[in-house]
A and B are shown apart, each in its own frame.
Chain A
Amino acid sequence: MAASTQVRKSPALTPGLLAWLALLGLLLAIGVVSAIPVFTRGLVLTNMNDVVPWGLWITIDLSSIALGAGAFTLSAVVYLFGLKRYRSIVRLAVFVGFIGYTSALLTLIIDIGRPDRFWHPWVFWNVHSVLWEITWCITIYLAIMVLEFLPVITETKFFDRWPWMRRAAQILHKAAPVLALLGVLVSLLHQSSLGATYGIVKSRPIWFKPSMPIMFILSAVAVGPALTMAVAYVLEWITGKRRIDHTILRTIARFSGFGLMVYAYIKFWDLAAVTYYGRTPAVSEGLHLLNQQTPYNFGFWFGEVIIGIVIPIIFFLLPRFNRRPFYLVLGAFLAVLGVIFNRWNITVTGLYVPLSYSPGTLYHLPPGVYSPALVEWGVAVGILGYALVMLTLGTRYLPLFGNQEHS
């Protein structure tokens, strides 16, 4: 472990860095200022209501967990499939995953009505609930990521004082393959259960279909690694140091491209089955209403399919584009946008279509009306700020690209 202690100069406060820190401070301040009244006065400050009880914040939860999927995917590639040469990116992937999962938990704490009871799912079990299972899986997986990451943290200079901690972490590191296996199992479970959260709700025609969990996990596995790849490139551009071999990054992009193709394939048959071959009256009515009153089709085809799938596939797979890092990063960010679009569409459109239970013909519940309130956007900005702060601190103080120990 010669490379473990890295001597660092105190950071030079260039104007660029100062501006960046000021921006981060601003984002965090906006987040805090928005979150405080929500805690003190309640969710009444949001635009969520009894017809649309889930909104922007749930979208952020779903998206950030999906985007954290690079951690388990790349860990599996290295530790289960034995492709050792991708080892150099695992640390970054786990770190990005950690940021994604903690962002989701932060948002969730604000989103639930009783933040003081956040621990209830751990004590009061309802094993029939997908949401209970998700809470447990996310907790376990977060713990796994921390364990996977401890050796990296103990490599910092700070731990020079306690060499025994570093040794303990090294012993722990031997368990990395076991942790990775456990992480993969738990991730496969909860990434798909997040889709099942919607897919099992039989009273909502737009949601109720078995393809939901499959589409959730495929999109997560495809886009998560792409985000890690993009982060690696961006960090390289900012720090000016090439940390990860470009052939590795390009392979990851191509993997994501193929992943997106599989996702698109399932999505196509889902579309055909739900809206064409198997259209039930409830689904037809729901889609009709959505198309009449919202830009549903445009959002789906433009936001999810063109931006989120087609353009990234072109950038990731055509040699003309995928030799140029710029297009890979652009493609990754478009794919990320596509995932966010998709999670938003699923959450809000499913709730927009009103329930129907009355036996008569006159009484219809109004369609759900929802657009996020200012505090909701504020908290979203704060969460973005948190993610960027973590990334900045990690880049600065953690050996994210520290050379891999070949013990």
Chain B
Amino acid sequence: MSKKKTKVKLELTRRDFLVVAAAAAGSVVAAEALTTGPLSPFANLKQGQLEGAVEAAQRAEGVGYRWGMVINLDKCIGCGYCQRACSATNDVAPDMAWNIVVEERGSSGNPFFFSRPCLHCEHAPCVEVCPVQATYHRSDGLVVMDYDRCIGCRYCEVACPYDARKFNWEKRTDVNEFIPTWGIAEVERRPRGVVEKCTFCIHRIDAGLERGLMPGEAYEATPACVNVCPVGARVFGDLNDPGSKISQELEGNASFRLREDLGTNPNVYYIPPKEGL
């Protein structure tokens, strides 16, 4: 029987095929309408969220801002104040620091201190991989987390080249020892099961702009780590404005970014120590 090649007859009449095809097309349309379209129970939610985000961003930054940070490794003294202020302001758990400060050494053995917030990459791997757009780009260049949308798959954490993301493995009950000495919590603790990271103190930027304050210049509108730095090693501001402090800083100094080979184009620039890297 194996010799006899029997052909499968597709037992489909033209009518059947049309019915099936129409049903398939119909269900696609229905699914579209029900999920993202006008019939969706989430339509308002999604639309609202989108509009909210875009509107807030546009209102807040008048379109055209690109927030960035310069970290001067030559000035940094490794006091770790930035890490403490960040932990207090954003109520970050001690083992999930958004902003790290570590001892480093250049290739000629010269010691220096290295610190790292979220780099808010232009081509952020975390944004590309997130299956639900819980992390996304705002038009002002910030990489934002939506804690209400995150499903906790941790792909962004795996994909981030800079170890900037931390997952909430449990419901936090710890007492934040940096409050109130280093600041008070300005944002809520994140719930169990979502990923979090440095926001460039987005709440300060948005609230500040609403009140007509320029982030990077006005204290209330500037990230906590930048304000607290005793030696002015961190400069924050609008990279699109050639007159801003950050642009001036970049103009006058040689700078580099972390792992430029990856093509992520971070918005955080580093000024190397005088003795070299």
A200 / chain B contacts, CB cutoff of 8 Å: 129
Query: When A50-B166, A203-B125 are in contact, do A126 and B130 touch as well, CB less than 8 Å?
Result: yes
A355 closest partner in B (C-beta): B163
Give Cα distance in the complex from A120 to B130, angstroms. Answer: 11
- B224 → chain A closest CB, angstroms: 22
B53 within 8 Å of A by Cβ? no
A-B contact count (CB 8 A): 182
A401 within 8 Å of B by Cβ? no
B61 within 8 Å of A by Cβ? no
Contact assessment for A203 and B130 in the assembled complex, using a CB-CB cutoff below 8 Å: no
Contact assessment for A363 and B104 in the assembled complex, using a CB-CB cutoff below 8 Å: yes
A407 closest partner in B (C-beta): B11
A359 closest partner in B (C-beta): B277
Contact assessment for B192 and A126 in the assembled complex, using a CB-CB cutoff below 8 Å: no
B256 closest partner in A (C-beta): A359
Contact assessment for B129 and A129 in the assembled complex, using a CB-CB cutoff below 8 Å: yes
- B112 → chain A closest CB, angstroms: 7
Contact assessment for A357 and B163 in the assembled complex, using a CB-CB cutoff below 8 Å: yes
Give Cα distance in the complex from A316 to B106, angstroms. Answer: 57
A248 closest partner in B (C-beta): B2
Chain B, range 81-134, C-beta contacts under 8 Å to A = 96, 102-107, 112, 114, 116, 125, 128-134
Contact assessment for B104 and A362 in the assembled complex, using a CB-CB cutoff below 8 Å: yes
Contact assessment for A203 and B262 in the assembled complex, using a CB-CB cutoff below 8 Å: yes
Contact assessment for A113 and B152 in the assembled complex, using a CB-CB cutoff below 8 Å: yes
B154 within 8 Å of A by Cβ? yes
- B1 → chain A closest CB, angstroms: 7
Summarize B's interface: helix, strand, loop or mixed.
loop
Give Cα distance in the complex from A128 to B150, angstroms. Answer: 16
Contact assessment for B151 and A113 in the assembled complex, using a CB-CB cutoff below 8 Å: yes
Q: Which of these binds chain B: A40-48, A324-332, A374-382?
A: A40-48
Give Cα distance in the complex from A4 to B207, angstroms. Answer: 69
Contact assessment for B114 and A358 in the assembled complex, using a CB-CB cutoff below 8 Å: yes
Query: When A42-B169, A112-B153, A203-B161 are in contact, do A360 and B106 touch as well, CB less than 8 Å?
Result: yes
Contact assessment for B2 and A53 in the assembled complex, using a CB-CB cutoff below 8 Å: no
Contact assessment for A201 and B11 in the assembled complex, using a CB-CB cutoff below 8 Å: no
* Interface size class of chain A, counting residues whose CB lies under 8 Å from the partner chain: 35 or more
A202 closest partner in B (C-beta): B262
Contact assessment for A85 and B46 in the assembled complex, using a CB-CB cutoff below 8 Å: no
Query: When A129-B131, A175-B20 are in contact, do A113 and B36 touch as well, CB less than 8 Å?
Result: no
Chain A, range 44-62, C-beta contacts under 8 Å to B = 44, 48-50, 53-54
B211 within 8 Å of A by Cβ? no
Contact assessment for A120 and B149 in the assembled complex, using a CB-CB cutoff below 8 Å: yes
In the complex, which of the residues A53, A124, A355 contacts B167, with contact meaning CB atoms closer than 8 Å?
A53
Mark contacts of B176-197 with chain A using CB atoms, 8 A cut-off: 1 yes-contact digit, 0 otherwise: 0000000000000000111100
A174 within 8 Å of B by Cβ? yes
A127 closest partner in B (C-beta): B133
Contact assessment for A365 and B163 in the assembled complex, using a CB-CB cutoff below 8 Å: yes
B12 closest partner in A (C-beta): A174
Contact assessment for B12 and A113 in the assembled complex, using a CB-CB cutoff below 8 Å: no
* Interface size class of chain B, counting residues whose CB lies under 8 Å from the partner chain: 35 or more
Contact assessment for B114 and A363 in the assembled complex, using a CB-CB cutoff below 8 Å: yes
A177 within 8 Å of B by Cβ? yes
A132 within 8 Å of B by Cβ? yes
Mark contacts of A96-138 with chain B using CB atoms, 8 A cut-off: 1 yes-contact digit, 0 otherwise: 0000000000000001111001101111111011111001000
Contact assessment for B155 and A131 in the assembled complex, using a CB-CB cutoff below 8 Å: yes
Contact assessment for A85 and B1 in the assembled complex, using a CB-CB cutoff below 8 Å: yes
Contact assessment for B154 and A54 in the assembled complex, using a CB-CB cutoff below 8 Å: yes
- B156 → chain A closest CB, angstroms: 10
Contact assessment for B170 and A42 in the assembled complex, using a CB-CB cutoff below 8 Å: yes
- A104 → chain B closest CB, angstroms: 13
A365 / chain B contacts, CB cutoff of 8 Å: 163
B42 closest partner in A (C-beta): A123
Contact assessment for A117 and B149 in the assembled complex, using a CB-CB cutoff below 8 Å: yes
Contact assessment for A128 and B128 in the assembled complex, using a CB-CB cutoff below 8 Å: yes
Query: When A79-B8, A84-B8, A113-B150 are in contact, do A359 and B104 touch as well, CB less than 8 Å?
Result: yes
Give Cα distance in the complex from A247 to B1, angstroms. Answer: 11
In the complex, which of the residues B42, B155, B162, B193 contacts A114, with contact meaning CB atoms closer than 8 Å?
B193
**Can you list 29 contacts pairing A with B, beta carbon distance less than 8 Å?**
A44-B170, A53-B154, A53-B167, A78-B8, A85-B1, A112-B152, A112-B153, A113-B193, A120-B131, A121-B131, A121-B132, A124-B133, A129-B129, A130-B129, A131-B130, A131-B131, A178-B21, A197-B155, A200-B129, A202-B262, A203-B262, A355-B163, A357-B116, A357-B258, A358-B114, A359-B104, A360-B104, A360-B106, A360-B277
Chain A residues engaging chain B, CB cutoff 8 angstroms: 41-44, 48-50, 53-54, 78-79, 82, 84-85, 111-114, 117-118, 120-126, 128-132, 135, 171, 174-175, 177-178, 197, 200-204, 247, 351, 355, 357-363, 365, 407
